[in-house]
Amino acid sequence: MNEQGNSYSMATTRLKVSQQEIRAAQIADKYVRGLAFKCLFPSCGRKAIRSHSIPSSIIKLSLAVDEHVMSLSRSTTSILKNKYYDLGMLDKIPVSKAGTFKGYCNYHDNWVFGAAERDNKKTQGMYGAMHTRALSIECTRKLELLAFMEKKKQVLGYQDSADNLMVNLFKIEVKDLENRITRILSPHSSGIYDFRVFTVSKNIGVAACGVFSFPQNDSNHIICYNVIPYPDMSFLFLTAPYNDIGIVDTYISHMGGERYCQKIFNDIIFLRGEEALMSPSLWHRLSRKRKRETVECILSPIFGVQKIPPIVKVKRHEVGVDSNLIDRYLSKGI
């Protein structure tokens, strides 16, 4: 879900923000960056390490140029300053910091995301790991925003009603995400999720991982996505609870069906997501106008973007691959 789409961000972008509020946001932003978070594994409580939304080995192999990728800075302060509104640019991010989140302690990071290597049901283990990773990123981002709002309130000495409403909503969403994570990490979780896969026979130059609700703002129905580029192939994995996989099919139909693969990729990565990692070589090929559209798309709730520009290009003949190949690619890392 697009966290920047909350009423807080919209209000601060559209209305004049006081220097006092900007200062409070800067302090809160710095505070959250240095904050330790607890491991999301049920009943663990140890300090979470930094995990990658997409393994750095994949980023290096398929996206990075000079150890950097392009992404939108996660700094709330920079949004407050309308940095992107003025420049319409993504930031150059070192691979080591690209798409990191504090989700699990060292032990459980291996336990959750190493499952794929350990499991006999190798591919199934990988789908489970991808599903869990997407839920975990969303949960940690919400926890970061809650900590940000709390600190900002403390510095300012008050919290307006819009922020207050948002905090309450985030708390409910965090609880729901924690419940979903607990269910999938329970010992008998096998088969509780299902998946759909889109394949493109080239490196699309973008990686992404996250969740979105469909219909929008209906948090009862959450779809997890992982966009993973390999040097000569790219995959979009959509996962949902087994008893709710119909929502993925409904979403695909809503987009016009599987043959609108390009539209689906761009919709999920840029319009519904906000943490796309883009290859600098793709970014620099985009026109100035398309770069601005890309940022406006990522910040869509602020800019009210409805139309999806074809940032990632996918031709019909590039879609689809022998499903037997998927296992081979996944074994290179997810």
**Secondary structure of 249-302 in HEC code, one letter for each residue:** HHHHHHCCCHHHHHHHHHHHHHHHCCCCEECHHHHHHCCHHHHHHHHHHHCHHH
State which of positions 106-135 bind Zn ion (CB under 5 A). 108
CA distances from 162 to 7, 139, 140, 166, 168 (A): 7, 21, 21, 6, 10
Instruction: Report, in Å, the least distance between residue 107 CB and Zn ion.
Output: 6
What whole-number distance in Å separates Cα of residue 115 and Cα of residue 22? 43
Q: Which is nearer to Zn ion, 109 or 144 (by Cβ)?
A: 109
Q: How many residues bind Zn ion (CB under 5 A)?
A: 6
What whole-number distance in Å separates Cα of residue 80 and Cα of residue 174? 24
Site membership for Zn ion, residue 198 (CB under 5 A): no
Instruction: Report, in Å, the least distance between residue 175 CB and Zn ion.
Output: 19
Q: Which is nearer to Zn ion, 178 or 318 (by Cβ)?
A: 178
Binding mask 27-66 for Zn ion (x = CB under 5 A): ------------x-x--x-x--------------------
User: Binding Zn ion by CB under 5 A: which of 59, 105, 181, 330?
Assistant: 105
Q: Which is nearer to Zn ion, 82 or 110 (by Cβ)?
A: 110
Q: Which is nearer to Zn ion, 174 or 185 (by Cβ)?
A: 185
Instruction: Report, in Å, the least distance between residue 264 CB and Zn ion.
Output: 35
Backbone φ and ψ for 212, nearest 5 degrees, come out as: -145, 155
Instruction: Report, in Å, the least distance between residue 51 CB and Zn ion.
Output: 11
Helices within the chain (DSSP H only)? 7-14, 19-33, 56-62, 76-80, 83-87, 106-113, 115-118, 122-156, 161-185, 246-254, 261-266, 280-285, 288-298, 300-303, 324-330
Instruction: Report, in Å, the least distance between residue 76 CB and Zn ion.
Output: 27
Q: Do strands 193-200 and 233-241 pair parallel, antiparallel, or not at all (unpaired)?
A: antiparallel
Q: Which is nearer to Zn ion, 46 or 284 (by Cβ)?
A: 46
Q: Decide if 334 contacts 130 (C-beta within 8 A).
A: yes
What whole-number distance in Å separates Cα of residue 176 and Cα of residue 41? 14
Buried b (16+ CB within 10 A) or exposed e, 149-160: bebbbebbeebe
Q: How many CB atoms lie within 10 A of CB 207?
A: 28
Instruction: Report, in Å, the least distance between residue 218 CB and Zn ion.
Output: 31
Binding mask 227-256 for Zn ion (x = CB under 5 A): ------------------------------
Q: What is the CA radius of gyration of the chain?
A: 19
Query: Stretches 61-69, 98-106, 147-155, 285-293: which one binds Zn ion (CB under 5 A)?
Result: 98-106
Q: Which is nearer to Zn ion, 108 or 292 (by Cβ)?
A: 108
Q: Which is nearer to Zn ion, 38 or 81 (by Cβ)?
A: 38
Q: Which is nearer to Zn ion, 27 or 44 (by Cβ)?
A: 44
Closest CA to 266 of 239, 227, 304: 227
User: Which residues make up the interface to Zn ion (CB under 5 A)?
Assistant: 39, 41, 44, 46, 105, 108
